[in-house]
Amino acid sequence: MSYIQTKRWNVNKSMNLQNKEKYLQEAAQWIKQGNVVAFPTETVYGLGGNALDSDAVKEIFRAKGRPNDNPLIVHIADRAQLDELVTEIPEVAEKLMKAYWPGPLTLIFKASDRVPSDVTAGLDTVAVRMPSHPVARELLLKADVPVAAPSANLSGRPSPTTADHVWTDLAGRIAGVIDGGPTGVGLESTVLDISGQHPVIFRPGGITLEQIAEVAADVELDQALVTEGQAPKSPGMKYTHYAPKGSLTLVRDPDRIHELVASETAQGNRVGVLTTENRQHKYKADFVFACGADGDLAKTAALLYNGLRQFDDHHIDVIYSEVFPESGVGAAVMNRLLKAAGGRIIE
C-alpha cells in the first residue's frame, strides 16, 4: 500500500493538551483499524501495527522492506495484556519486570496461540516490552491492543531518533507519524530471552548486562553470530543493520585513522570520521561527527544514529569510526557499530 500523504501529528511538549489528546486518539484509532503508525519511544521511533492483526503486521514488513523471517517486538501498556500473548511467566521475568518495566527491556517468552506467526517469524516465542515514553504509553492505552513495532526506518538503515528521520525513510509508505521530539536512550531495547533454562541477552541495549545481573545472577551474554539459514529469535541477530550509505569501518588505533583518511581523500572519496568531542579537532576529513565526550557512553548512545545519518546528509563515501569501551551501554554502542560496518574492523 502506498499513501499519497502520510499524516504527521505534532505532540511535542509545547503542544496544546487538548490537541495532543485528539491527535493521539486519532492515531490510536488508525492502529485499531489496521493501519501502521510511527511513534516515539524512549529508545527509538517504532512503526506500530495491531500485533493481533496479521494484515497489519504484514503491512509493517512491507513498509520497512523488512525480511519476514525477522521477528517483531510487541509493545504493551498494561501488564494484563501480557497474559494473552504468552503461555507462562517465569519467576525471573516477574523480578525483571518489577525492576525494569516500563523501560528499554524486551523479554522473550513462550508465545500463546493468539500471537500471529507473522509476528514471531514462525518461532514458538514472542518478544514483549512495555515502553516508558509518555507518548508511547498513552498511544498504547488508547489503542487498547498489543502493538508490534520494529524501528520506524527502512530495513538496514540507521534507526530513527527523531520524527524527521522517520519522515525521510517512510513518508508515503505509512499512514502517519507521531512527532514527539527526539528520543532519549537512542538505541533499541535490550533483548533478553527468559524462555530457556538461563536468561540470555540476544541484543544489548539501554538496560545493561550489569543491571540485569543484579536481578538475574545467572544471565548469559550470547556471543554467537547467526549464520545464513538460521532463524533469529530476536531483531538484530541477522542481516546488516543501522548502516549509513557510505562504507563504514571501525579502527582500534585512532592514529591509524589519519593515514586512512589521507589515502581515501587522495583517491577522490569524501571521507568522514566518527569520534568524540575530545579528539574532534584532530581529524582533517570532509565531515567529523563528535559522538559525545570521552567516558559519556550514554550520550554516545543517544547521538549514534543521528551521527550515522549525518554522514549521509554530507554525502560521505567512506567513514572511519573510533571504537568505544564495551562496558555498560558501551556494549550496545559497539554492537550497533559492528552491525553497521558489516563486521569490518581494523585491529
- 69 and 207 housed in the same domain: yes
| Residue 133 lies inside a defined structural domain of this protein | yes
In 3D, which of 161, 201, 164 has the Cα closest to residue 185? 161
Residue 255 grid cell: 592514529
- 64 and 164 housed in the same domain: yes
- 86 and 212 housed in the same domain: yes
For residue range 289-306, what is the model confidence (pLDDT) as tens digits?
999 999 999 999 999 999
- 281 and 205 housed in the same domain: no
Task: Give, as one character, the DSSP assignment of residue 162.
Answer: S
- Exposed/middle/buried for 252, CB within 10 Å: 0-12, 13-18, 19+? exposed
Number of independent structural domains in the chain: 2
Q: What percent of the chain has pLDDT over 70?
A: 93
CB 167 within 8 A of CB 8: yes
Q: What are phi and psi of 173, to 5 degrees?
A: -110, -15
For residue range 152-185, what is the model confidence (pLDDT) as tens digits?
999 999 999 999 999 999 999 999 999 999 999 9
| Residue 193 lies inside a defined structural domain of this protein | yes
| Residue 28 lies inside a defined structural domain of this protein | yes
End position of a domain, from candidates 174, 203, 221: 221
Q: What are phi and psi of 231, to 5 degrees?
A: -90, 120
CATH for 194: 3.90.870.10
Please, where are the H alpha helices in the chain? 17-32, 54-64, 80-83, 91-100, 117-120, 134-143, 163-170, 209-213, 254-266, 297-313, 330-340
Tell me what pLDDT residue 270 has: 98
* pTM for this prediction: 0.93
- More confident of the two residues 163 and 236: 163
Residue 197 grid cell: 533454562
| Whole-number Å distance between alpha carbons of 335 and 47 | 22
Q: Residue 243 CB: number of other CB atoms within 10 A?
A: 17
- Exposed/middle/buried for 80, CB within 10 Å: 0-12, 13-18, 19+? exposed
Question: How confident is the prediction for the chain on average, in pLDDT?
Answer: 93
For residue range 309-325, what is the model confidence (pLDDT) as tens digits?
999 999 999 999 999 99
- More confident of the two residues 105 and 238: 105
**Predicted confidence band of residue 226 (pLDDT cuts 50, 70, 90):** very low
| Whole-number Å distance between alpha carbons of 341 and 42 | 25
| Residue 230 lies inside a defined structural domain of this protein | no
- 270 and 209 housed in the same domain: no
Residue 223 grid cell: 556471543
For residue range 122-147, what is the model confidence (pLDDT) as tens digits?
999 999 999 999 999 999 999 999 99
Identity at 220, one-letter amino acid code: E
For residue range 39-84, what is the model confidence (pLDDT) as tens digits?
999 999 999 999 999 999 999 999 999 998 899 999 999 999 999 9
Highest mean pLDDT among 10-19, 66-75, 235-244 belongs to 66-75
CB 291 within 8 A of CB 168: no
- 157 and 67 housed in the same domain: yes
Which domain, by its residues, includes 334? 247-346
Tell me what pLDDT residue 17 has: 75
Strand order through the sheet with 176-179: 7-10, 176-179, 37-39, 46-50, 147-148, 73-75, 125-129, 105-110, 190-193, 200-203, 220-221
Tell me what pLDDT residue 12 has: 81
**Predicted confidence band of residue 94 (pLDDT cuts 50, 70, 90):** very high
**Predicted confidence band of residue 5 (pLDDT cuts 50, 70, 90):** confident
**Predicted confidence band of residue 16 (pLDDT cuts 50, 70, 90):** confident
Tell me what pLDDT residue 231 has: 46
Q: 234 pLDDT exceeds 80? A: no
- 257 and 340 housed in the same domain: yes
Q: 239 pLDDT exceeds 60? A: no
Grid coordinates 492502529 are at which residue? Answer: 31
In 3D, which of 304, 105, 270 has the Cα closest to residue 192? 105
For residue range 26-43, what is the model confidence (pLDDT) as tens digits?
999 999 999 999 999 999
Cis peptide before 131 (omega within 30 of 0): no
| Residue 2 lies inside a defined structural domain of this protein | no
How far is C-alpha 97 from the geometric centre of its chain's CA atoms? 20
End position of a domain, from candidates 221, 256, 276: 221
